[in-house]
Chain A
Amino acid sequence: MIVRPYEAHIAFRFLRKGRGQTALLLGGIAVGVAVQFFLSSLIGGLQLSLVERTVGSAPHIFVLPPDNLPSSVLAEDGRNVDSRRVPYSTYPEILSWQGYVDFLRGLPEITAVSPVAGGQGSIERGGAIETVAVKGLSPEDGGKVYNLDRNLEAGRASLTGDEALVGRSIADKLRLEPGDRFFIRNSKGGGDTFMVAGVVDLGSVQANAQVFLSLDRARSFLGLRGVTAIEVKVLDVFGAEALARRLGGEFSRVRIESWQARNQELLTALRSQSSSSGVIQFFVLFAISLGIASVLGIAAVQKSRQLGILKAMGVDNRGAARIFLIQGLALGLGGSLAGIGLGYAISAAFLRFFGTGTFGLQLNAFNLITPAVLAIVGAAAASVIPARSASRLSPIEVIRNG
């Protein structure tokens, strides 16, 4: 749209001389943009917080051995096979795990890869027995996958020799502190003694019911020849599903799962939250657009005399229409800028007075620009109706009717 100087000159003068009306419109748009900005920042922050709690200190992709499928209890000759001879404590394993680890570490999307030896055990301490998940991590990347340094509550995040890191739940139940020694029994009846190097809080009861050991000690403790999983952390948390699918296409002898596949309910909740937020924001924008269309529509009627004489003096239909489109755009732009400021102020005040520390606002350019762009587009669209009526106005009708 090429704007001729007189169109902007007249449009801005109309806005300036109708100060009260202009201020009300700008206020309406500003409040709408501020509400949109605040809502999307709040919901975005809440979602980020939920995702961070769910997967921030957990793997994003799991490379797992194929499931053990039940085999026939009938031998080829039709006799029953003695099912009691099936080993009672086998874990499915990835034997050639080193090759997978090397491959995965070469991918740019991946930030940490840790082979894991996982299984069950029970800690016996002072007459108390607590069943725990035992997890052996690689010394290179294991700490990164679980953010052990960040989540360390007491002691050191060290996994060398007989050192172990225990989750907060286990430490509380068994009154374990850094430096304490404890005995873990494995599922085969054997066991080993370890020393608490540190206590970690991974954010959930389930995650805190784990004992982390070094990979080698865990493999030996669980009697593994390979590893039970390879755990992967990626740069883009929400891109994990796509990467898992891609890797699944490349590797046929292992299963690949993403965190999304394991947290379908959370994802559904997040999606529902986003949808409801989108609906609210749409109606806020719709209400603003209706307001602008209504006020500019009335203005077009009020200004019909001026438009008529302008047309007589040489303003063509397009020019008359643009006078109103420019007003709509200017209102959208001005209101959006004010709305961004107002939204930022509301967000800052919210964080200051109501911030619980459990989650923050997602104050980013997208949340800032999207409502502003939508408001500008909405305001411009709203001005189309008065622009059309201005365009169709006959100068002679105005002159004839006074």
Chain B
Amino acid sequence: MAEIIAVRDLVKRFGDVVQTEVLHGLTVSFERGALTAVIGPSGSGKTTLLNIVSLLESPTAGELVIDGRDFSAGDINAYADYRNAHLGFIFQFHYLLPEFTALENVLIPHWIGRGRPPASFVGKALDIMTEMDIRRIRDKYPNQISGGEQQRVAIARALVNEPRIVFADEPTGNLDRETGFAVLEIMTRMIRQLGTTLVVVTHDREIALRADRILELVDGRICKSFRTTDVGEKGARALLEDRDCLVDDLSVSALKGGAGGGR
């Protein structure tokens, strides 16, 4: 698969006087049309990586290329149009605008990028809402619907502009397990239907196991990177259980079909 996001020697430091380096020269790529799960313990840098590759935060150093365009330098404000046209966001909290109804929230990306949505676009938004079983709440405000519904509206909003990449940060972290899996099911189905690339950050290994590829970060470095399709579910579980890091992606091929944690 061709890569859609390429990161090379990515460094991110926070702080002015006392600096903390969160990402230490990270090199990684994300495949077009694939579902990649980024996992790792708290403080490993996975959300920072997501924020940088989704153009919400600037890197301190390193290269970032998305769909052939270099985003290594520059103010993230300059990339607002690109974010609107090509990227979709799903966060742990739904972040719906409480002043707008569910349908209006879904239409907001069109308003921002292209102005008042035409009837055809509203129809498309309603189709997505139907797919996600939230059409019946189209005229309700966020405070009038359940947490699962709120998150489904947020997913519909992320998908409505047919973005090239959707970034999701703990998309079910604020939901109970059952609702979370239901939402995840809908999200992955819709994303696969649209052929969109998904990068999802999660703590939850069960969620990660549904991805095409898993990337584990530890202390700001890539610890493991493998395709679940290569190792199978059993192999993937074994790899995730293993506390040691793999040397690099190439070692994954040796594990193909295996159940243990190869080193």
Contacts and interface: CB of A to CB of B under 8 A. Distances in A.
In this complex, the member of A4, A306, A313 whose beta carbon has the largest number of chain B beta carbons within 10 angstroms is A313
A396 B112 contact: no
B83 A314 contact: yes
B1 to A, nearest CB: 27
B84 interface: yes
Contact of A5 (B109, B116, B169): B116
A14 B112 CA distance: 16
A309 interface: yes
A316 B80 contact: yes
A17 B98 contact: yes
Contact of A13 (B47, B84, B99): B99
A9 interface: yes
A402 B92 CA distance: 9
B51 interface: yes
Contacts of A388: none
Contact of B112 (A6, A399, A400): A6
B245 interface: no
Contacts of B113: 314
Contacts of B112: 6, 310, 313-315, 319
Interface in B231-253: none
Contact of B77 (A10, A17, A316, A399): A316
A313 B169 CA distance: 15
A395 interface: yes
A399 B116 CA distance: 26
A13 B100 contact: yes
A10 B97 CA distance: 10
A306 B99 CA distance: 9
Contact of B89 (A14, A313, A402): A313
A314 B80 contact: yes
B85 A314 contact: yes
Nearest to B58: A396
B97 A309 contact: yes
| Interface size range of chain A in the complex | 20 to 34
B83 A14 contact: no
Contact of A312 (B47, B56, B85, B97): B56
Given A396-B51, A399-B91, A313 B99 contact: no
Contacts of A9: 111, 116
A313 B47 CA distance: 17
Interface in A312-327: 312-317, 319
Interface string B81-105: 1011100010101010111100000
B57 interface: yes
Interface residues of B, number: 27
Contacts of B85: 314
A312 B50 CA distance: 13
Contact of A395 (B56, B99, B116, B157): B56
B84 A17 contact: no
A359 to B, nearest CB: 50
Interface string B169-186: 100000000000000000
B115 interface: yes
A311 interface: yes
A399 to B, nearest CB: 6
B108 interface: yes
Given A6-B111, A317-B77, A396 B97 contact: no
Contacts of A308: 95
A201 B2 CA distance: 101
B26 to A, nearest CB: 18
A181 interface: no
B115 A6 contact: yes
Contacts of B93: 402
Contacts of A156: none
Contact of B111 (A5, A17, A312): A5
B84 A399 contact: no
A313 B115 contact: no
Interface in A293-337: 305-306, 308-317, 319
A313 B56 contact: no
Contacts of B97: 10, 306, 309-310
Nearest to A12: B99
Nearest to A4: B115
Interface in B111-141: 111-113, 115-116
Interface string A380-399: 00000000000000011001
A319 B98 CA distance: 19
B80 A311 contact: yes
Contacts of A319: 80, 112
Contact of B95 (A6, A305, A317): A305
B176 to A, nearest CB: 19
Contacts of A402: 93
Contacts of A10: 97, 99, 111
A112 to B, nearest CB: 63
Quick one: which of A10, A305, A311, A314 has the most chain B CB within 10 A? A314
A394 B91 CA distance: 16
Contacts of A310: 97, 108, 112
Given A5-B116, A314-B85, A399-B91, 10 more contacts: A6-B108, A6-B115, A13-B100, A306-B97, A309-B91, A313-B108, A314-B81, A314-B84, A314-B109, A316-B81
20 contacts: A6-B115, A9-B111, A17-B98, A17-B99, A306-B95, A309-B95, A310-B108, A311-B80, A313-B83, A313-B108, A313-B109, A314-B80, A314-B83, A315-B112, A319-B80, A396-B51, A396-B56, A396-B57, A399-B91, A399-B169
Interface of A: 4-6, 9-10, 13-14, 16-17, 305-306, 308-317, 319, 395-396, 399-400, 402
10 nearest A-B pairs in the assembled complex, by CB-CB distance: A314-B84, A316-B80, A6-B111, A17-B99, A309-B95, A5-B115, A314-B112, A13-B99, A6-B112, A314-B83
